[in-house]
Amino acid sequence: MTSLQPLLAPDLPAGHWALFLDIDGTLLEHAAHPDAVSVSDELRTLLGTIEHRLDGAVAFITGRSVEAADRLFHPLKLRVAGLYGLEHRLTPDGPVEVADAPADIAALADAIEAELNDAQVYIERKGSILAIHTRAAPHLLARATHLVEQALAQLPKGYRVIPGNAGVELMPLEAAKGAAVRRFMAIPSFASRRPVFLGDDTADENGFEAINEAGGISIRVKPRGPTAAKYVLDDVTGAIGWLEANFEKSPVS
């Protein structure tokens, strides 16, 4: 992570851009339960307009599954890296590479759910990723994090713990937003373009690093503490406004 103070996200000059977007906390405000959010018609229209103006060089890079992202933004379909890159759909109407759901992660989810025993904590099972949401019970975040870190020693090698602002996730090492960005940048629709990535949480830091390596524009929404992002935006409303100003009406190609 950078030790330099990030700057307010700038206006972009005209150019060949590729846009990568986190969803929760970036385009949508967080909710106590992931299914409690909704997408406005205005946001769908904005993203559809941007996708058209960038000739398809737009992708969600999200912790949600591809199926969940599609359901949320229906009828709009974009390219997606779901589950932090464990799932991919490289074209809007193409096939989805689906991640497996290991039995040891499913058993661990059951055990942690029984240990916490609180209806306000949501245990989300996402294939080989386990997410514990404590937004509705912030006093249990430390306990949930401890349980996941303790469980890490009992799992096969190849997993890591990612603490978040209001929860904690356990995921394979290969689940990395930076790797997802690099995969998209290797396909023709993105390859000749300069990448931009908007994210808001710890899991997005790996993506910011990949964007910086590519000479792109990395932006963290609602920053808390050090970040690898070179630029910041204050909140979701600011992120939507920045996208409108830079990709809806300005000269991009």
Residues carrying an active site annotation: 22
d(CA 204, CA 196): 13
Other CB atoms closer than 10 Å to residue 83's CB: what's the count? 25
Query: Can you point out the beta strands (E) in 135-203?
Result: 159-163, 167-172, 194-199
Q: How far is CA 167 from the centre of its chain?
A: 14
Structure tokens belonging to residue 92 = 């809007």
Answer for the pair 230, 212: CB distance below 8 angstroms, yes or no.
Answer: yes
Q: How far is CA 28 from the centre of its chain?
A: 11
Q: Residue 77, class by beta-carbon neighbours within 10 Å (0-12 exposed, 13-18 middle, 19+ buried)? A: middle
Answer for the pair 131, 145: CB distance below 8 angstroms, yes or no.
Answer: no
Structure tokens belonging to residue 222 = 């609602």
Among 1, 5, 52, CA closest to 252: 52
d(CA 129, CA 61): 15
d(CA 33, CA 120): 9
